[in-house]
Amino acid sequence: EPEVTQTPSHQVTQMGQEVILRCVPISNHLYFYWYRQILGQKVEFLVSFYNNEISEKSEIFDDQFSVERPDGSNFTLKIRSTKLEDSAMYFCASFTSKGLVSYNEQFFGPGTRLTVL
């Protein structure tokens, strides 16, 4: 069964460093998402991406964050200068279609746990 994959499973970094979290969505999916879950809290939407551009972003997704789909298969989330409060689990998700014709659930990857020291 197709699945969303994420690498690495755990990333430890120093405050101020740049990190790139990688995701490989399901191959025929068109919509891609990043979500964040701070330990013990709810899952929060960060950004959605379609047709090589951001379609929506939350207030969490500030200038320190960026996303791209560099090669048609990977979908990356970059945090330019990490802060302690960026420590969280980051989930990638993909979706095959949008709106009224969407009959499939979003598929979530297993997550990358980011620890900022």
* Residues that bind another protein in the complex, under the rule CB under 8 A: 31, 33, 35, 41-45, 48, 55-56, 89, 91, 95, 98-100, 102, 105-108, 110-111, 113
Give the 3-state secondary structure percentages of the chain, helix then strand then coil, rounded to 5.
5, 50, 45
Q: How far is the CB of 112 from another protein (least distance, A)?
A: 10
Cβ(77)–Cβ(90) below 8 Å:
yes
Cβ(45)–Cβ(96) below 8 Å:
no
Choose between 18 and 56: whose C-beta lies nearer to another protein.
56
Choose between 15 and 54: whose C-beta lies nearer to another protein.
54
Q: How far is the CB of 96 from another protein (least distance, A)?
A: 10
Choose between 62 and 71: whose C-beta lies nearer to another protein.
62
Q: Is the peptide bond before 8 cis (omega within 30 degrees of 0)?
A: yes
Q: How far is the CB of 8 from another protein (least distance, A)?
A: 14
Cβ(69)–Cβ(92) below 8 Å:
no
